[in-house]
Amino acid sequence: MTIVDYIIIAIYFALTFMTGLWFSRTAGKSMDDFFLSGRNLSWWLSGISMVATTFAADTPLAVTGIVAAGGIAGNWFWWSYACSGILTVFIFSRLWRKLGVTTDAEFTEVRYEGTPAIFLRIFRAFYFAIPINTIIMGWVGLGMSKVIHVAFGWPKTETFLVLYVFTGFYVILSGLWGVILTDFFQFFIAMTGSFFLAWFAVEKFGSLAALKAAYLQVRPESSLSINPFSFQIAGLTAGTWLFVQWWSSWFAGAEPGGGGYIAQRIFSTRDENEAVKASLLFNVLHYVARPWPWIIVAIASLALYPDLADPELGYPKLMVELLPAGFLGLLIVSFMAAYMSTLSTHLNWGASYLVNDVYKRFLRPGASDREYIIASRLAIALLLVITYIISSQMESIKGAWELLISIGSGTGLVYMMRWFWKRINPWSEISAMSSAFAVSIFLKIYGVHDISLLVLINTSVTTLVWTSVTLFTNPVSDPLWIRFRRRAGLENSRKNWIMLKMGILGVISSLAGIFTMLTGFNDLFFYSTGTAVFKLTIGTILIIIAAKITDLTQIKIGRIEGD
């Protein structure tokens, strides 16, 4: 680190601090402003904010660990979630935006009724705000602490303290307005840093071909393949990723049926069409454009440091060893940006549950907006304290990812079906969440640690539990079901048919485009350039077609609503 690097880092912190101050007055006007940016976001700003949130300091390190364990194809562990993400784009994003709620927990009292619905709303609010949310923020902090430790030598606990205090300060001030704006710039800063490191990693070997040759001296060639059924990965594991995990397991940023902070960004858009475009942009950037600089660096770190006890540390080691003055500061800033964009979203999102679904709904209904904003800022401070405690106990980022997937296994189907199957009631969701958590802990205690086996067993047991509970309990009343369908925009059968038909076309086109482009980039970097150009061209055309389908769907829906 040189004086130039420190100046770059100082400038970044100063600009972020000023952003928090600038938006403090706007964020303090109302809860809609603090948690949803006044429901006035454009699709491109909302979409980039989504992808910035899913790009955290832990992500490149976790991808390095994944490549070390299972080769490039190991990334199907999270690439498979593109299937649920695209279903959200074309099926669920319109429904969420039409509903007009503040959180996905609030959905429960729109969809269900009575005391069980109230209990479910409180349960979901606390469950996602505290244990789930703080686990996510904990592993994000762990990733950033590894980078800081390698670059500066700081111990983990002191790193957490500094980063949490600074990030919490500007989130408490600015609300979602500040989060969204800083997300926009932080995403491009973070991607720039990733591309620079990938460039210098390749330059270290002289060319991509030389990098590949060095890598193949320590790893088998099959580990460069994107094929999930390659020799690197067991068939059961690949089959679980591709055919079970994406629809059965809740995972932050890829919730089956939408939800979480993705739903929050959807609520924040101007209308349903903007919501669809935002979530489509997010999925394309998230799965296609973003991972390849990380993968190239992962390959380089494994070639240079084949015997690292913690392969995740290979990424920051390359930063420190390869980057010249100025570039190291830029990459540290890019990690700061990635980290802070994620942490800021999770703090704001977690606080929205505690305030909107507990404090406002049950403790202080009818209070002033000023009181709710104060409560929101105190909730953020509380989440920071809990996160500090949890993150201090974490050691592995990939392990934390797997923990979250295992305790959410089996819940995904109920989150999708609740929109369309009247019989689903609060007990369906309560039993699914409780069973998934209990079975996951039971299996862990009794020595089942393979994530694929965990997902398969937990999904089977939990699905059996919640479907049985659903069939042996009463559905919601007819008047409530009719009101819910009207509020979600599902009351018109002609409109539903158009949404379903066009949605299926959009899902097929966009998934084909995303997976074709993934294989195209794999060919570009490690195999045939000619094949890569063909695949990338076809993939781009398919994505453009999917985008056009969203516009055509809106036109057809507009005609029906105008009749």
Whether residue 103 lies inside any domain: the answer is yes
User: What residues contact residue 233 under an 8 Å CB cut-off, 6+ apart?
Assistant: 70, 71, 73, 74, 76
User: What residues contact residue 433 under an 8 Å CB cut-off, 6+ apart?
Assistant: 123, 124, 127, 411
Chain centre distance of CA 281: 13
Q: Which two tokens stand for residue 412?
A: 């995904």
pLDDT at 238: 84
486/89 Cα distance (integer angstroms): 20
Handedness of CA 181, 183, 188, 190 (dihedral sign): positive
Question: Into how many domains does the chain fold?
Answer: 1
Whether residue 206 lies inside any domain: the answer is yes
492/226 Cα distance (integer angstroms): 43
Residue 356's φ and ψ, nearest 5 degrees, are -70, -40
Q: In the 3-class helix/strand/coil scheme, how is 252-302 assigned residue by residue?
A: CCCCCCCCHHHHHHHHCECCHHHHHHHHHHHHHHHHHHCHHHHHHHHHHHH
Whether residue 515 lies inside any domain: the answer is no
pLDDT at 124: 92
Do residues 509 and 89 lie in contact, with contact meaning Cβ atoms separated by under 8 Å? Answer: no
Distances (CA, A) of 45 to 36, 82, 233, 520: 13, 20, 37, 27
Determine what percent of the chain falls in helix, strand and coil, rounding each to the nearest 5: 80, 0, 20
What SS3 class is residue 56? coil
Query: What's 41's DSSP letter?
Result: B
Whether residue 548 lies inside any domain: the answer is no
356/365 Cα distance (integer angstroms): 10
273/259 Cα distance (integer angstroms): 18
Containing domain of residue 95, as a range?
Answer: 3-79+87-491
Whether residue 387 lies inside any domain: the answer is yes
| Length reported for the chain | 563
Q: Which two tokens stand for residue 189?
A: 């800063």
Q: In the 3-class helix/strand/coil scheme, how is 76-100 assigned residue by residue?
A: HHHHCCHHHHHHHHHHHHHHHHHHC
For residue 409, list its beta bridge partners.
249
Handedness of CA 125, 273, 418, 287 (dihedral sign): negative
pLDDT at 27: 60
Q: To the nearest 10°, report the CA torsion of 253, 254, 257, 258.
A: 20
Angle, CA of 53, 54 and 55, to the nearest 5°: 90
Whether residue 311 lies inside any domain: the answer is yes
pLDDT at 82: 94
Whether residue 91 lies inside any domain: the answer is yes
Among 244, 216, 219, CA closest to 76: 244
Q: What is the CATH number of the domain that holds 290?
A: 1.20.1730.10
376/371 Cα distance (integer angstroms): 9
Number of other CB atoms surrounding residue 366 within 10 Å: 6
Query: Block means of pLDDT (10 residues each) for the chain, length 563 residues?
Result: 80 78 68 81 91 81 88 92 94 93 93 94 92 82 76 73 77 75 80 88 92 93 87 78 89 85 91 92 92 94 88 84 78 77 84 94 90 90 85 66 81 94 95 92 83 90 96 94 92 86 94 96 92 95 93 83 65
Helix axes 314-322, 58-70, angle to 10 degrees: 110
pLDDT at 132: 85
318/316 Cα distance (integer angstroms): 5
